[in-house]
Structure 1
Amino acid sequence: MPATSANRVIIVGAGPVGLVCALSLASRDIPVLVLEANDDLFMDLRAGSFHPPSLEVLEPIGVTARLLELGIAVHRWQWRDRSEGVIGTFELGLLSDETAYPYRLHLEQHKLTPLLMDMLRPIPHATVMFSRRVTGVTQDGERIRVRADGPDGPETHDGGWVIGCDGGGSIVRKAAGIEFTGFTYPERFALISTPYDLGQHGFSDTAYISHPVEWCAVFRLPHEGPPGMWRFLYGCRPDQSEEIELSEEVVEERLQSVLPRPQRYETIHKTIYRVHQRVAETFRNGRMLLAGDAAHLNNPIGGFGLNSGVQDAMNLTDKLVSVIRGDADESVLDRYVRQRRTVTIENIQEQSIRNKRLLEETDPVVRRERLEDMRSASADPKRAKDIVMRSSMIASMRRADAIA
């Protein structure tokens, strides 16, 4: 397809969702321009888990095979309690008759974006421009115009469509006049990385540890090689400053509370951030489209954020290709909105909120009931499979596919 401004897709944001959109389109001969505000790829330390449906949808564009070379296949996850230890272990092998990828793949998000860039570089009709802070987007019936501040001053870029993959503060979403409703948690979340191997103490590569105050999730990532790197995710005290929460003393106290040891923990990375539960009122306004964090935000317990963004990207670009080629009319893009927004609300938002509540339940009676329910579910193959179908996002993907 000849590259013209009429069929070019402008993507705002060169994070994983933006670059997946770009590769999906460019690999099918759709010209793309990616505009990124930073002067290089952003090293986001947060996400690091790929669920089976994400591996499935990334397979046709060649990404999954490369991820498998780099990541750690995680075949089970644990639900633990601070006082009682392991409550239940959930085996992802129960999914072997549902998917070719019956496991989670752990890989740092900041290793995905360079991989996607490497795949985009040889494609002549794919351009990624850094140091371009988008300041506005307008549309008429036939085109999009994007304004950006570049290294040499203001720029304008014309295209047929724009996809906002520019995060929770999305300029594209604001330009489209789309509300972003929901709430922000009062506490911030801390993410602490250590080379100490929790696996030698019986921790599975993903484990959730409940406690009324000091709940925690831990997971192992490849880092620079075996035994990899372990990350601790936990909620901070709302009344404490970032400086105090990331101090050596407080971090050491929190890690020791999860797994006491005589030696101090070595930490590689420390970060703290606000967490939101928000969903855009729609993911489309004419030729302006949203995907990933620009469309929805959720807490990280369960690893749904990056995965839902990747699944948005592939669902949207599959439909946009058919529109640009003339194989479908624009109404197919409204199906994208119905599919992805519905599962965002019904599945991703609901389950991520529920996961946090399960971990931090304070009522002792309710807490006991929920722990016993998790214990019995892990011992019942049918109930355990229902849980891993939801936690692996297979159930939400099938729900989306069923929406006409």
Structure 2
Amino acid sequence: MNVQKDVIVAGGGPVGMVTALALAQRDFNVTVVEADAQVDTNPRAATTHASTLEMLASIGVIDEFIAAGLTARYFDFWDRDQSRKIARFDHDLLRNDTQFPFVVQTEQHKLVRIIEAKLKSYPNVTVLRGTSVAAAEQDANGVTVTVERDGVQEKLSGHFLVGTDGGRSTVRKSLNIEFEGYTWPEQFLVLTTSFDFEKALGSSYRAYFAGADEWCNLFKVAGDDMKGRWRAVFPAPVDVPEEVIMSDEAAQRRLNGIFRCDEEYELLHKNIYRVHQRVAASFRKGRIFLAGDSSHVNNPIGGLGLNCGIHDALEIANTLAQATDANDPLLDRFERRRRTMNIEFVQQQTIANKKRLEEKDPAVRAKNLDDLVEIQNDPARQHAFLMRSSLLDSVRKSQAIQ
């Protein structure tokens, strides 16, 4: 056995699980450490782009993943102030660029479950649930991770560590890596309802509503029961008490702002959270790598954050598989590729997406919406727009970085 084959993955969310499976398939011995005893089913990321679907296909989970969600060929932009659809974009224009010319709306916890079940057939993988990472350190010979379970601490040793333990990453903090960027001034409110916006509005499964007073994102997911439900995302001021924002009355008012319903909306879930736009100053130190939210966070408009994290995971697996040892200069390529792509694509794109929806200046707002119409009407420009929004461009440019 190659002495460089033992990897600890801190965090058992979707990025951690993809990392673990990809490494296991490349004959690494993997230990996943996850604080939650059970899979977190709270509504989070659900949009998976063509570039990421290609990667999920490469690790053998694509059929189950697609079956667990909804396939979305189109996405829309709407003028909320005038209640009219501005433009519809068609992923089928990518049919010559990818075998997956669509988006799949599958909740991230389903991906975790699919992969965790698959990992049980790998004798070289151990998943430690209900176990949290307390500290991480390294030396010339390997990494040591202090973990805690039921109040008892122990140490795990390996050759490499991958930190996929979220925006508050213990691994990143152990390395004293700055999380550069800022926090948006408003919170994001997520409301989930069984109301059928496709039937009521003619909306696609992904729709973005630009509004001078209030923007909104609207998208459909399958739900665990596969009956379908819609999530609506709104900005929420931080100077209004949370109990007011989260009240049923406020929720009904916001949803009626999208489509006025004669009856009350059935509310299935409500959530509110702060949103950050941050990138770690470094994605790797020695034998320790950062991936997913541990290394980058962004606003969710466009559904790029988790996709980028899965790209990190495959890049780590491929890089470690190609490296000869922990001193191989090839390992530096991971940061050159992933940090660059995150800044140049994901950060820029998500910031631009948010600004487009929230623009208040009438002239600028009108121009933004007119630009979307022009892009829709020009197949070449729409194709270029889709190549970027699906991160297919970023994957191609990333692979060119040596």
Which bracket does the TM-score occupy, shorter chain normalised?
over 0.9
Partner of 2:173: 174
Unpaired runs of at least 5, structure 1: none
Q: CA deviation at 1:390?
A: 1.1
Pairs within 5 Å for 1:291-330 = 291-323=291-323, 326=324, 330=328
Partner of 2:47: 49
Partner of 1:208: 208
CA contact 1:283–1:337 (8 Å) conserved in 2: yes
Q: Which amino acid aligns with 2:56?
A: L
CA contact 1:322–1:328 (8 Å) conserved in 2: no
350-359 vs 378-387, greater mean Cα deviation: 378-387
Q: Which amino acid aligns with 2:352?
A: R
Instruction: Say if 1:375 and 1:227 are closer, same or farther in 2 by CA, change over 3 A.
Output: farther
CA contact 2:5–2:27 (8 Å) conserved in 1: no
2:70 counterpart of 1:72: yes
Partner of 2:93: 94
Give CA-to-partner distance per residue, 1:83-104, whole Å, 9 cap, x none.
Answer: 3311111111110111000000
Partner of 2:382: 384
CA contact 1:58–1:314 (8 Å) conserved in 2: no
241-250 vs 286-295, greater mean Cα deviation: 241-250
Q: CA deviation at 1:290?
A: 0.4
State the secondary structure of the residue aligned to 1:196.
coil
Instruction: Say if 1:359 and 1:390 are closer, same or farther in 2 by CA, change over 3 A.
Output: same
Q: What CA RMSD, in Å, does the superposition of the two structures yield over aligned residues?
A: 1.5
Partner of 2:362: 364
Q: CA deviation at 1:253?
A: 0.5
CA distance, structure 2, for counterparts of residue 264 and residue 158 of structure 1: 55
Partner of 1:60: 58
CA distance, structure 1, for counterparts of residue 214 and residue 287 of structure 2: 45
Q: Which amino acid aligns with 1:127?
A: T
- Identity level (%): 40
State the secondary structure of the residue aligned to 1:185.
strand
2:345 counterpart of 1:350: no
Q: CA deviation at 1:150?
A: 1.4
61-70 vs 7-16, greater mean Cα deviation: 61-70
329-338 vs 153-162, greater mean Cα deviation: 329-338
Q: Which amino acid aligns with 2:379?
A: P
CA distance, structure 2, for counterparts of residue 61 and residue 372 of structure 1: 41
Pairs within 5 Å for 1:30-45 = 30-45=28-43
Partner of 1:16: 14
CA distance, structure 1, for counterparts of residue 104 and residue 87 of structure 2: 21
State the secondary structure of the residue aligned to 1:261.
coil
CA contact 2:26–2:317 (8 Å) conserved in 1: no
Q: CA deviation at 1:107?
A: 0.7
CA contact 2:205–2:219 (8 Å) conserved in 1: yes
2:128 counterpart of 1:129: yes
Give CA-to-partner distance per residue, 1:293-336, whole Å, 9 cap, x none.
Answer: 0000000000001100001100111111222xx38962222111
CA distance, structure 1, for counterparts of residue 62 and residue 333 of structure 2: 26
Partner of 2:253: 253
375-384 vs 47-56, greater mean Cα deviation: 375-384
Give CA-to-partner distance per residue, 1:15-40, whole Å, 9 cap, x none.
Answer: 00001111111122210011111222
CA contact 2:81–2:212 (8 Å) conserved in 1: no
State the secondary structure of the residue aligned to 1:403.
coil
CA distance, structure 2, for counterparts of residue 382 and residue 143 of structure 1: 50
CA distance, structure 2, for counterparts of residue 311 and residue 44 of structure 1: 23
TM-score (norm 1): 0.96
Q: Which amino acid aligns with 2:85?
A: V
CA distance, structure 2, for counterparts of residue 398 and residue 287 of structure 1: 26
TM-score (norm 2): 0.97
CA distance, structure 2, for counterparts of residue 364 and residue 329 of structure 1: 56
Instruction: Say if 1:82 and 1:152 are closer, same or farther in 2 by CA, change over 3 A.
Output: closer
For this pair of structures, how many residues does the alignment match?
Answer: 400
CA distance, structure 2, for counterparts of residue 154 and residue 57 of structure 1: 36
Structure 1 stretches of 4+ with a deviation exceeding 4 A read 224-227
Pairs within 5 Å for 1:260-271 = 260-271=260-271
Q: CA deviation at 1:261?
A: 1.2
CA contact 2:93–2:383 (8 Å) conserved in 1: yes
CA distance, structure 1, for counterparts of residue 164 and residue 232 of structure 2: 27
CA contact 2:136–2:174 (8 Å) conserved in 1: yes
Q: Which amino acid aligns with 1:267?
A: L
Give CA-to-partner distance per residue, 1:324-354, whole Å, 9 cap, x none.
Answer: xx38962222111111111100110001000
State the secondary structure of the residue aligned to 1:65.
helix
